[in-house]
Structures are given as structure tokens and as C-alpha cells.
Amino acid sequence: MVSRLRNRLTRYWRLLGPGLVTGAADDDPSGIATYSQTGAQYGLQLIWMSLFILPMAVVVQEMCARIGMVTGRGLGENIRREYPRSILYLCVVLLLGANTFNIAADIGAMAKAVQLLVPALGFPFLVSMFVVLSIVLQVFTSYKTYARYLKYLSLVLLAYVVTGFLVRLDWGAVLMHTLIPTIVFSKDQIFLICAIMGTTISPYCFFWQSSQEIEEEIEGGRSTLESREGSSDVEIRDMRIDVWSGMFFSEIIMFFIIAVCAGTLFAHGETNIQTAADAAAALRPLAGDWAYLLFAVGIIGIGLLSIPVLAGSSAYAVAETFSWREGLYNKPREAYAFYAVIVASMLIALTLNFVGIDPIKALIYSAVANGIVSPVMLFFIVRLSNNVEVMGERVNRTSTNVIAWFITGVMGLAGIAAIVSLFV
């Protein structure tokens, strides 16, 4: 019995890859800050969003993965081949802006989290160290090693699940608010809802998911476009298990972060939480040293995962837009422009941490950019995944289309609301 269970778990773990990493990267330090603010400011009132967003996030990421698997090309290249380049240029420019601000905010959050544990270390040293470490891992590590590192690093998010059981929570209230949506139509809450959707269903995840499916096929020996085109029923099934697992993991972490902050910070009037590090620091006197330590470690660990995903998605998008050679399986001298985008994104993000930009404003700018580009990208993703000439028999199911168009409309409204809320 034990041996059979272990074998099943081993097979399941081997199935997990791009979907798990994408789901984990979705809970980057910026996302942790957003979820922490949600719990601290509104208690359990918005925890229902963790359940509400799950099927929509799964559908979006599954479409992106399927497009990559069936066509053998990345998302950017497919859009470039089927639609006017001006559309792609706009999306990529907004993506680069949002990703760069996100990377800057994440690097700053990681540095602040380290300072919570080791106050003697300086902020400039820490942000520089994280940038150098991320560049070295992305540029000089083989894809096989790099993918394994990202996969195992995703498990650091379990720190937030453990934290949830270390603090006293009213699980009856948690369950009730998860199943019964509540909302107050205030400016601040509407913007926070937009931020939650923007940080959960983000364009960088679209590009990363699609391109990583291709990287996995190349790693498996399918190096030519012809060998990558098309996918078997088994491959599609395995991909869906991976995507469902990754996004379920992502939303579970969101659920626990909101619940922990609601049960501790909100319950004790600690509502002024601006960063993930603020949340970790505020937890210490309320929930104890272990909760504080786990929260801080989670910020650092998931930052090491999400920053390469953000920079990598920028590189994939730019390379596919201009038909450059791309892919982490290539050595730097074989795809120098691709790697140059990664390095440039990291260095610009580092610079933003030295020019005094407010990390909260960085999150706002990235949320607005995501709010603008997400519905545009989703429109073309849904169209592509319904195009028989592109997808053949792997076009969307009716149920997929219903959810896909619904989330496109919701994200469009969220983007408009985010923009309006900045000027009202």
C-alpha cells in the first residue's frame, strides 16, 4: 500500500513542470503584498476571490500551454503570424513595463525580508546580490538544472500553509466567507480587487507558460518545429494535470495569506500594510516568531522563483516579436539578444530601487499596465485557441470558451476600473 502510494506520488511529481512553476510564480512578493493588504484591510471579506479566480486562471493558462504545444511556437510568435504587428508591439511594450516594475518591487521586497532576519545587511548590497544571483542562474545554468531548481523552489510557498496552522483562525468564518462572496463598492476595495485579478491573471504568465511547454519538448529531444507540432491525447492530459495543479497551488497560497493576515493583522487593527515585509514584521508580536520567520522566508524563496519568470517572459516576448533566436536551452552566445533582454530587465529593475521609487507606486503602475494588456492579450489568446487553421482538432471546448470570454470581459472591466480609480 505504502509503496503503491509512493509510486503514484512520484509519477505525479514527474508530471509537474511549467504549470506548477507558473502557478507558484504567480504568488510573487508583489502578489503576497497584495494578498496581505487584502486580509489586513478587509479581513475575510474578499477571501472568496481565491475560489472565484481558480477556474478562470486554469482556463487561461491551459489555453496558453495548448497553443505552445500544438503549434510548437511561443505565444508572441503565434500572435505575430496571425495578427498585425502593431498589436503585438503594444502588448509587448506594456508587458515589459509591467514586468520591470514588478521585478523592481520584488527585489526590494526580498531585500527588506532579509533585513528582517539579518538587520545588519544593507539594502543596496542585498538588491544587488539578488540581481547578480538571478542573472547567473538564468544565463549560466543549463535548462535542465534550472527547471529542476524552479520546480523544487515552488515548494517554499508551503510556508504560508504552515503559517495558517500556527495562528488561531476561525475556520468556520473562513469557510463561510470563501463560499459566500461579499463586496463593498468603495474606490479602495474596487482597486484592490483589480490588483488581485491583475496579479493572479498576468500577461507574463501567458508568455512563460507557452514558451516553457516548448522548452520541455526540446529538452525531451523534439528540437525541430516539425517534431513539436501537434500533441497526443496523453500529452494534453498531462499538461492539464500540471496546469490544474499549479493554479490550484497558487490559489491555495492566496487563500492562506489572506486568512492569516485577516486572523492576525485585521483582528488586531494592523491595517496599514504596504509591503510583504510589512506583513511579516507585523505578524511577529501577534502570531509568534515561527509565523514571522516562515512568512519572511516565503518572500525570499518565492522571489528567487518569480523574478526569473518575470525576466524570462519579457525575453520570450521580445524575441518572438522580432524572430530572434530564443530559449533557455540555448547557450548565451547562441541567443545573445534573448539573454540581453533578461540582463537589461534585471539591471533596469535594480536601478529603480536606487532612484527612490515608491514600491507601492511600482505595484500600482504594474497593476494598471497588466489591467490594460491582459484583456487585449486574452482576446487574441481566445481567438488563437479557436482557430482551426492554427490549432486543428485542439480548438477550445464550448465550456472553455464560455469561461474564457467571461474572464476577458471581467479583466477588461477590471482594467478600466483600475485606470479610473487613479483619477477619481
Domain contains 322: yes
Domain annotation covers residue 6: no
Name the percent of the chain lying above pLDDT 90: 29
Closest CA to 384 of 98, 77, 36: 77
Residue 270 included in any domain:
yes
Here the CATH number for the domain that contains residue 269 is 1.20.1740.10
Query: What's residue 182's pLDDT?
Result: 84
Q: Pick 225 or 216 by higher pLDDT.
A: 216
More confident of the two residues 94 and 48: 48
Most confident of 46-50, 150-154, 182-186, 264-268: 46-50
Nine-digit cell string for 273: 500594510
Average pLDDT over residues 324-336: 86
Query: What pLDDT, on the 0 to 100 scale, is given for residue 422?
Result: 65
Is the residue at 7 inside a domain?
no
Alpha carbon of 186 to those of 11, 193, 206: distances in Å? 47, 11, 30
pLDDT at position 245 is 93
- What pLDDT is recorded for position 424? 66
Q: How confident is the model at residue 148 (pLDDT cuts 50, 70, 90)?
A: confident
* Predicted confidence (pLDDT) per residue in 94-104, tens digit: 888 888 888 98
In a domain, 135, yes or no: yes
Stated pTM of the model: 0.89
Q: Residue 171: what pLDDT?
A: 92
Cα distances (Å, whole numbers) of residue 166 to 45, 47, 170, 260? 21, 19, 13, 9
Res. 276: pLDDT tops 90: no
What are 182-212's pLDDT values in tens digits? Answer: 887 777 777 778 778 878 888 888 998 998 8
pLDDT for 385 equals 94
- Taking residues 19-34, what's their average pLDDT? 85
Give the chain's domain count: 1
Please name the residues in contact with 318: beta carbons below 8 A apart, sequence gap of 6 or more: 76, 92, 96, 324, 338, 341
Is the per-residue pLDDT at 418 higher than 80? no
Nearest partner of 279 among 398, 195, 387, 159, judged by Cα: 159
Q: Is 4 among the domain residues?
A: no
Range of the domain at 237: 18-423
Query: Could you give the angle at which helices 187-200 and 233-263 cross, rounded to 10 degrees?
Result: 150
Give the rounded percent of residues in the chain with a pLDDT score beyond 70: 94
Domain contains 65: yes
Asked whether residue 348 is assigned to any structural domain, the reply reads: yes
- pLDDT value at position 351? 92
